[in-house]
Amino acid sequence: MTNKYNLTIKEASEYYNIGENKLRELIKQDCCEFVLYIGKKALIKRKQFEEYLDKVTYL
């Protein structure tokens, strides 16, 4: 799975051990740069999300 560029909310939740609801909260923020919408489907940009996680100390 780590070779995928984008992850679904479910995949990202399992991979990063973060709840799906928390991920949905994060992508709703205006400053979110790691989400890609295809229609109504939200995908997490893996590399950008990892960079975001490197910067934060609290979720």
pLDDT single digits (tens) 16-42? 999 999 999 999 998 899 999 999 999
Q: For the domain with range 6-55, which CATH number is right: 3.40.50.150, 1.10.357.10, 3.90.105.50, 3.40.50.2300?
A: 3.90.105.50
Structure token digits, residue 38: 């295809």
DSSP character at residue 49:
H
- Reported as a pLDDT band with limits 50, 70 and 90, residue 59 is confident
Q: How far apart are CA 42 and CA 21, in angstroms?
A: 13
3-state SS, residue 52? helix
Cα–Cα nearest to 12, from 48, 26, 20: 20
Q: How far apart are CA 56 and CA 41, in angstroms?
A: 25
Q: What is the pTM (predicted TM-score) of this model?
A: 0.87
Structure token digits, residue 1: 């799975």
